[in-house]
Amino acid sequence: MLMELVKIFPGLELQFFRCSGPELAERLKNGSCDLGIAGPLSETWDRLDVWPLFEEGHALVVNKSHPLAMRNRIETKELENLRLIARPYDEQADKISAQLKTAGVEQKAGNHILSEQDLLSLLEANLGAAIMPETSSRSSNLRAIAVDGFSLRREVSLYAVAGRERPAAATGLMKLLRSADWSTMMPFEHVAEKA
């Protein structure tokens, strides 16, 4: 989509920010960004336009050489013996932790990481596993495995401020994002059975 946008708007300069849901809401409010793509924001605002793009589940993500990598599914109790790396910056981190705790799985405090890139590097080095949204990585070295009893899903949406004038490129990107077939863009090589 970005390649298409750059063809239409030669010389376009793009700025990307990675931030939490509250930070995104603040950036949209104060006008320091035109658009945001995120999971559910904890904050609501009457001027915030929201367009759902796709819904995704969570899976256990491991290196392709991990002993579990060839399994179709695992039981939640099998997570107990894994070095699970937590993603405290995830907008659903509390829900993930609660589901794991309900299943009797404790994540060790030392296995928290504060950067998605650092987490992916650890997973690619086969130094742990993580419960992640399906679209969190496009690495060919990782595999997503369904976890029975783990039903957390999230809706990823496009956010913008209603009534605010946007650059033509932002409007073009909005149209491309909203018209995309997101079902073809799932990045993990799934071992999980399709329902």
Is the predicted pLDDT of residue 53 greater than 50, yes or no?
yes
Give the model confidence (pLDDT) of 107-126 as tens digits: 776 677 888 889 999 999 99
Is the predicted pLDDT of residue 5 greater than 80, yes or no?
yes
> What does pTM read for this prediction?
0.78
Is the predicted pLDDT of residue 190 greater than 60, yes or no?
no
Q: How many CB atoms lie within 10 A of CB 86?
A: 22
Please, what are the domains in the chain?
2-54+154-184 (3.40.190.10), 56-153 (3.40.190.290)
How much is the average pLDDT of 166-184? Answer: 89
71 versus 40: the higher-pLDDT residue is 71
How much is the average pLDDT of 171-183? Answer: 89
To the nearest whole number, what is the mean pLDDT of the chain? 86
Distances (CA, A) of 2 to 7, 9, 34, 106, 174: 9, 10, 15, 40, 11
What per-residue confidence (pLDDT) applies to 125? 95
Is the predicted pLDDT of residue 186 greater than 70, yes or no?
no
